[in-house]
Structure 1
Amino acid sequence: MRVSSPGLVHVVDDDKAVRESIGDLLRSMGYQVTLHGSASEFLKAELPDAPACLVVDVRLPGTSGLELQEYLTRTNIRMPVILMTGFGDIPMSVKGMKAGAVDFLTKPIRDQDLIDAVAAAIRIDQARRRENAQIAQLRQRFALLTPRERQVMALVASGLMNKHIANELSISEVTVKMHRGSVMRKMEAKSVAMLTRIAEALDIQR
């Protein structure tokens, strides 16, 4: 089966035959593929803003696959990582999994295992991008709230009733209801439960 929404796969392996073989396989599945012989070569390349993952050998000349993974985490490049490993490198790969790698594949790698791992990694990146886009949209809506509406939203989301919010802010209950209605409309929240989830997503606290 070809993937319905192809992603971009970066392959880093110092063995030319291995990386080209992986590239051919993934291209046949509809993915875009970039091939790199080292971590430094990968880091010099442009990273398009598209769903992507990194397939990297644990043992590389210079910067290792694990060091590259650590660097991406440290610099907040949120790209799912799949580690390739020789049999003797399994303990290293377990360390990589604990650091957030999606999978590690032992060489020689079965085609289906690689295809499955890449599909899972691309799905993870697509989900992350969707979530980021939703958060950005919520932030835009939140920016439209007045300072008072933001206070009311935080208090509603914390579970306070209108009369308690009125006491807390030293305003009338009618004014609270007015602000609350405006908040629900601007944030496109159909219920208090939805508004509470939005507040959690934006890390808004009392």
Structure 2
Amino acid sequence: MTRAALPDAPSAAMIYIVDDDAHLRASLVNLLESSGHEAVISFDSAEAFLRFERPDVNSCLILDLMLGEGSGLHLQAQLQQDAPPLPIIFMSGVGSIAVSVQAMKAGAETFLTKPLRQNELLDAVETALAKDRQRRASCSTLKQLRARHQTLTPRERQTMALAITGLLNKQIADRMGISNITVKIHRGHAMKKMGARTFADLVRMGEALGIGPAPF
């Protein structure tokens, strides 16, 4: 592993490089640092990269397709369980259309051929980091919604699930076997706990959580 001088700020964007060519790794680190990226770490193998404890910050991976010990596609497959997934920029000197299509279908951001064009690589890095920021923001929002939803009582969850389908309070009361007033109380508590300012907000939250009406 080759580590550039990392900044003290824990929120700095991280750029990882995995390639078994030491000269290329050094060149990429120098290029990225000279372009203003302060946190760049390179690895000579997929195993070394996987052993590294990555901080939970904005990041992307520049990955060689043909590593010495195996295909970069294998590492890509191992990283697909990450949430959010790490954006991957593939590079190869022997890439084929079939392989590039496979990499893109598996979620790669782009596929570059060696020798790399500096501007093309830098643009790809900026695009990958921007997408990662968006994914992290969405993932953070969803985690917050799930945490809020867990604070609801079972009855409040049922009321929310039925309400966001468009049922009226009276219909929900009939379905749940409770009074109309109790439904209003559960609905009000659900909106407050979820942080929904309007019923439309509650509906959007339910859609984001994938909530459907509870069976009765």
How does the TM-score come out when normalised to structure 1? Answer: 0.91
Identity %: 47
- 1:39 touches 1:64 (CA, 8 Å); kept in 2? no
Confirm or deny that 1:26 pairs with 2:4.
no
Structure 2: runs of 5 or more not aligned? 1-10
Q: For 1:82, what is the secondary structure of its paired residue?
A: strand
The 5 Å alignment of 1:1-206 reads 6-31=12-37, 32-74=39-81, 78-206=85-213
Q: For 2:89, what is the secondary structure of its paired residue?
A: strand
Letter in 2 for 1:8: M
Quote how far apart the aligned CAs of 1:109 are.
1.3
Structure having the higher helix fraction is: 1
Q: For 1:55, what is the secondary structure of its paired residue?
A: strand
Quote how far apart the aligned CAs of 1:90 are.
3.9
Distance 1:56 1:90 in 2: 17
Q: What does residue 5 of structure 2 align with?
A: none
Letter in 2 for 1:201: A
Count of aligned pairs between the two proteins: 202
- 1:6 touches 1:30 (CA, 8 Å); kept in 2? no
How does the TM-score come out when normalised to structure 2? Answer: 0.87
- Shift >3 Å, 4+ stretches: 74-77, 87-90
Distance 1:130 1:91 in 2: 33
For the aligned residue pairs, the C-alpha RMSD in angstroms reads: 1.8
Distance 1:156 1:29 in 2: 52
Letter in 2 for 1:9: I
Q: For 2:67, what is the secondary structure of its paired residue?
A: coil
Structure 1: runs of 5 or more not aligned? none
CA spacing shift, 1:145–1:15, aligned 2, 3 Å = same
